[in-house]
Amino acid sequence: MIRKDYLERLIEQFAAAFAALLKKRREQGPEAAQQLLRDTALDLLGMEYSALTMADAASTARLLGHPTRVLCLARLVAEEGEGLQEQGQGARAALRWGLALELFLEARELGGRLEGEDARVLGALKARIEPSQLSERYQQALARAEDETPAAS
């Protein structure tokens, strides 16, 4: 079982690494941020980024084993999509955004709470990805997530 202090440390480290990633992309461009993205995955998740993004979202979520770790990867994949979009690689960006959306849904299915920045990124991904582009499994998971999301007052 992953201990609470480990998860808190992971979240803190991820927040710091993600802030550095955004700063690097803003100051040096998306190409420069790619290496930091890979390093962040290796440092925080213990695996190469390319290995984590090679498999389908369900397999990767099982491999990572905890919703917090899956959420970290989902945010990295969504950020990679942003960088690809900035480079004019819209088709590749859309593929990454689709994977990120699936990872968010997997994290939710594992009991992860999607709130704060995670909820904001999930909302942005849902606006970018047509549900019909997702497998039936993820269309159903998306519908469940939307049914359980409290309506804004």
Q: What is the pLDDT of residue 139?
A: 92
Q: Is residue 151 part of a domain?
A: no
Per the CB < 8 A criterion, the answer to whether 71 and 104 are in contact is: yes
Render pLDDT for 54-97 as a digit per residue (tens, 0 to 9): 999 999 999 999 999 999 999 999 999 999 998 999 999 999 99
Q: Is residue 63 part of a domain?
A: yes
Count: domains in the chain: 1
Q: Is residue 153 part of a domain?
A: no
DSSP count for the chain of H helices, then E strands: 8, 0
Render pLDDT for 1-29 as a digit per residue (tens, 0 to 9): 556 676 577 667 767 776 777 777 778 87
